[in-house]
Structure 1
Amino acid sequence: MLDRFEYNNVSPRVVFGSGTLHELPSMLQKINATSVLILCTPEQISTAETVRDLIGDAAASIYTKATMHTPVGVTDDAVQVARELGVDGIVSVGGGSTVGLGKAISIRTGLPHLCIPTTYAGSEMTPILGETEDGRKTTRRDPKILPTAVLYNVDLFSTLPVDLTIYSGINAIAHAVEALYANNRNPVIELLACEGTKALCEGLPVLQTNAQDSEARQKTVYGAWLCGMCLGNVDMALHHKLCHTLGGSFNLPHAQTHVILLPHALAYNAPAAPQAMAKLASVLPESDGDAVRGINALYRRLGIQLGLKDFGMPEKGVDEACDIALSNPYKNPRPLEHGGIRELIRRAWAGEEARQDL
């Protein structure tokens, strides 16, 4: 018998597949966008130019200053550009940094926002916006933040470097993990979380050895889409709160921070969420019924051995990050205990393997 639950579906219109980029002009018509500002990072200019050439006169300009953690100063500049050009739509091309900028512009201006993702981060499927100002990252959730439409062109993922493929894929798994023990989880989201995690666990090891394997790439993009749906429809907990704290305060790379923290946050919450851990273990290879063992095994298979110190976080930042993480209460399966959270962050800083003794 199912317990009572509430399910509210929050999702943009999605087009998914190989060779789908040619559908962009018709998608712009459907969102009534006739003059758009294309957003990208400096590294994605070539892809943005491809999009510009495809839509012709509908491309007003390309804005190339998107950067991680969505600094408010960059957003203010981009909004000014959009207003000066008089555009009636936004197209973001890239990963979470670019999608985040598109969301920030859209919520400020009301302009429709079409995403063309090139990483597995999943931000395009969420009504969540994280912005950084004065060294602090704040997050808000609003249905109006959700992009208007998403175009998954699987072919665009073929040039993503292998290490970024792995990092952003694990980032996507983190969305599913927290959805399984979210306070407002439901059976539909649990199905999406398990299916998305399974697809990513099957696809990522293949792409690591053969980045051009089209079947594995389709499976991985599909898994990331489902995991992004999870992130967009339920509340996140300890893992995502820590990632935002660390990323905004120490300017750490988004995907790598998620990768480093996931096993430790999972180990912290495991005793308080046995049903979620059992569901997760069922789709993690080599878990033997233990989700933490399974995630550790996946990391070993993928050759992941990272610590926050590898990305410039000082050891003295462990205490600062702990204090910030505990300053704003939020729902989590296990109560937030100073000693356990500090040790979690310290282990993540040092790059240690996750252990269930926090």
Structure 2
Amino acid sequence: MTMSFDHITLGQRVLFGVGQARKHVAGEVARRGAGRVMVIASPREHELAEGVCAQISVRVWFDDVVQHVPVGKAEAARAVAGEHGVDLIVSVGGGSTVGLAKAVALTTGIPIVAVPTTYAGSEATNVWGMTENRTKTTGVDDRVLPATVVYDATLTTSLPVDLSVASGLNSLAHCVDSLWAPRADPINQALALEGARALARALPGIVADPDDLQAREQALYGCYLAAVAFASAGSGLHHKICHVLGGTFDLPHAETHAIVLRYVLALNAPAVPELAGRLATALGSAMGSEHTAADALNRLYEALDAPRRLADYGLTERLIPEAVARVLEVAPPSNPIPVTRANLTTLLSDARTGVTPTAGLHIVR
């Protein structure tokens, strides 16, 4: 079969090394000749960020970090950056932190050095997102792509096991969504499958020993591949659902992605058996098929004691009709299974209660 596709690889420097974050951040600040650095880090990450930035001169610290990046918070951060003439942003933290840095870069063009402490993956994409009036808006702009990413597994050891699991499964969702997202192609599918393989092996290691730096390093490696694939492939149904749940109902980002993932895979796998089979193999199944992909993912969730029910995070039954209506407005027409009010209602209802999904479940119900 011949191949025809249009693939874009984003230009970004990646610095990887255990215990080297402080050195790498100082080197990037010096290499760029930056003299007015703004560090964005949440209060919870402030002590960690001080250590990472110990060898640089910081002009201003900003810590008003909120998930889903409310527009008001973005405007406040932009005002601080303008007031201090900031010429470089260093973000130290998870997806909300780099998301706020991106919101500043979107209107100012100030470059970002991102230092992740979770497996969110936002640091490797040119996708921004902000929330206003209960609606999360996302977009693509190369100005928000961090110029440099500094990965250091030691910085993730402060992340509790349950959050490590949720964050890692959020990253795995990038892999799965990238297999059939609107701009999916063979290159980002290959990256996504390798990312899924790395994450499926790393996360049980983190659960077994939270201080296992090799497992946490593998998780960062998988997280980066997942994000690069996602940046190329675009936002598929999974992410459209989660953006609605987060932006409209303020459900927590990582846990929501972790829960929804299994149901989107169960919906789509029967329509793309070859891809689902390759995913099953990446997840450790001895036999690759659309059915074993769902089974392999369910087994992984059992091993990780992963979050299962959206009800545990605030989604009530009465909210489902509004969620369905909002997702239908943005669902990609290219989704392998046509998205309908019926199958989306079933998907969200099952994700709310934690029914174990199997391939094809939402097609026949």
Q: Common fold, TM-score beyond 0.5? A: yes
| Closer, same or farther: CA 11–275 of 1 in aligned 2, 3 Å | farther
Any residues of structure 2 matched to 1:46-57 within 5 Å, and which?
46-55=47-56, 57=57
> Is the CA contact 1:33–1:112 (under 8 Å) kept in the aligned structure 2?
no
Shift in Å, 1:37: 0.8
> Is the CA contact 1:287–1:297 (under 8 Å) kept in the aligned structure 2?
no
Any residues of structure 2 matched to 1:173-184 within 5 Å, and which?
173-184=172-183
> Is the CA contact 2:109–2:144 (under 8 Å) kept in the aligned structure 1?
no
Supply the distance in 2 between the matched residues of 1:26 and 1:328 (Cα, whole angstroms): 42
- For residue 20 of structure 2, what is the aligned residue in structure 1? 20
Supply the distance in 2 between the matched residues of 1:114 and 1:347 (Cα, whole angstroms): 40
- For residue 335 of structure 1, what is the aligned residue in structure 2? 338
Instruction: Give the counterpart of 2:324 among 310, 317, 322.
Output: 322
> Is the CA contact 2:131–2:137 (under 8 Å) kept in the aligned structure 1?
yes
> Is the CA contact 1:178–1:239 (under 8 Å) kept in the aligned structure 2?
yes
| Closer, same or farther: CA 353–86 of 1 in aligned 2, 3 Å | same
- For residue 35 of structure 2, what is the aligned residue in structure 1? 34
Shift in Å, 1:316: 0.5
Give CA deviations for 1:159-178 in whole Å, capped at 9, x if unaligned.
21111111111111111111
Residue 262 of structure 1 aligns to a residue in which SS? Answer: helix
- For residue 61 of structure 1, what is the aligned residue in structure 2? 60
Supply the distance in 1 between the matched residues of 2:285 and 2:233 (Cα, whole angstroms): 28
Count of residue pairs brought into register by the alignment: 356
The answer as to 2:90 corresponding to 1:91 is: yes
Give CA deviations for 1:162-215 in whole Å, capped at 9, x if unaligned.
111111111111111111122322222122111111111111101101011121
Supply the distance in 2 between the matched residues of 1:90 and 1:315 (Cα, whole angstroms): 42
Residue 306 of structure 1 aligns to a residue in which SS? Answer: coil
Code of the aligned partner of 2:343: G
- For residue 361 of structure 2, what is the aligned residue in structure 1? 357
The answer as to 2:223 corresponding to 1:224 is: yes
> Is the CA contact 1:172–1:227 (under 8 Å) kept in the aligned structure 2?
yes
User: How does the TM-score come out when normalised to structure 1?
Assistant: 0.96
> Is the CA contact 1:285–1:298 (under 8 Å) kept in the aligned structure 2?
no
Supply the distance in 1 between the matched residues of 2:126 and 2:18 (Cα, whole angstroms): 26
Supply the distance in 2 between the matched residues of 1:139 and 1:185 (Cα, whole angstroms): 18
Supply the distance in 1 between the matched residues of 2:33 and 2:130 (Cα, whole angstroms): 28
Work out the percentage of aligned pairs sharing the same amino acid: 39
Supply the distance in 2 between the matched residues of 1:52 and 1:214 (Cα, whole angstroms): 21
Residue 159 of structure 1 aligns to a residue in which SS? Answer: coil
Supply the distance in 2 between the matched residues of 1:146 and 1:338 (Cα, whole angstroms): 35
Any residues of structure 2 matched to 1:165-244 within 5 Å, and which?
165-244=164-243
Supply the distance in 1 between the matched residues of 2:293 and 2:82 (Cα, whole angstroms): 49
Code of the aligned partner of 2:321: D
Shift in Å, 1:91: 0.7
Residue 62 of structure 1 aligns to a residue in which SS? Answer: strand
- For residue 255 of structure 2, what is the aligned residue in structure 1? 256
Shift in Å, 1:30: 2.9
21-30 vs 170-179, greater mean Cα deviation:
21-30
The answer as to 2:302 corresponding to 1:303 is: no
| Closer, same or farther: CA 2–164 of 1 in aligned 2, 3 Å | farther
Supply the distance in 2 between the matched residues of 1:286 and 1:51 (Cα, whole angstroms): 39
Residue 144 of structure 1 aligns to a residue in which SS? Answer: helix
- For residue 155 of structure 1, what is the aligned residue in structure 2? 154
Shift in Å, 1:53: 2.3
Give CA deviations for 1:100-151 in whole Å, capped at 9, x if unaligned.
0000001111111110000001000011111100111111112222111111
248-257 vs 331-340, greater mean Cα deviation:
331-340
Code of the aligned partner of 1:199: A
User: How does the TM-score come out when normalised to structure 2?
Assistant: 0.94
Shift in Å, 1:287: 6.6
| Closer, same or farther: CA 2–18 of 1 in aligned 2, 3 Å | farther
Supply the distance in 1 between the matched residues of 2:305 and 2:2 (Cα, whole angstroms): 39
Give CA deviations for 1:293-350 in whole Å, capped at 9, x if unaligned.
1111110111124211101122101111000001234232221111000110111111
> Is the CA contact 1:201–1:284 (under 8 Å) kept in the aligned structure 2?
yes
Supply the distance in 2 between the matched residues of 1:119 and 1:160 (Cα, whole angstroms): 7
Supply the distance in 2 between the matched residues of 1:189 and 1:336 (Cα, whole angstroms): 23
Supply the distance in 2 between the matched residues of 1:30 and 1:232 (Cα, whole angstroms): 26
The answer as to 2:74 corresponding to 1:101 is: no
> Is the CA contact 2:90–2:112 (under 8 Å) kept in the aligned structure 1?
yes
7-16 vs 108-117, greater mean Cα deviation:
7-16
- For residue 138 of structure 2, what is the aligned residue in structure 1? 139
